Amino acid sequence: MPYQDAFVLFWEQVKESAQEGRFAKLTMAKTIGKPNLRNIFLRPVYSEDSFKVLLKLRYRSRDTVDKEEKLTLEEAFVVLKSYLRKSFSSVLLFTTTKDVTFKINKKGAGSITENLPSFSDIPQVEKDIE
Question: Does the residue 98 lie in any domain?
Answer: yes
Question: Does the residue 124 lie in any domain?
Answer: no
Long-range CB contacts (within 8 A, 24+) of 102-107: 102/6, 102/7, 102/10, 103/30, 104/3
Question: Does the residue 120 lie in any domain?
Answer: no
Question: Does the residue 48 lie in any domain?
Answer: yes
pLDDT digits (tens, 9 = 90+) for 44-53: 987 777 889 9
Question: Does the residue 69 lie in any domain?
Answer: yes
What range defines the domain where residue 29 resides?
3-115
pLDDT digits (tens, 9 = 90+) for 57-113: 999 888 889 999 999 999 999 999 999 998 999 999 999 999 999 999 999 999 999
Question: Does the residue 39 lie in any domain?
Answer: yes
Question: Does the residue 130 lie in any domain?
Answer: no
Number of domains in the chain: 1
The pTM of this model reads 0.88
Long-range CB contacts (within 8 A, 24+) of 119-125: 119/24, 119/25, 119/94, 119/95, 120/96, 121/24, 121/96, 122/21, 122/22, 122/23, 122/24, 122/44, 122/46, 122/96, 123/24, 123/25, 123/43, 124/44, 124/46, 125/43, 125/44, 125/45, 125/54
Cβ-based neighbours of 109, under 8 Å, separated by 6 or more: 1, 2, 3, 6
Question: Does the residue 40 lie in any domain?
Answer: yes
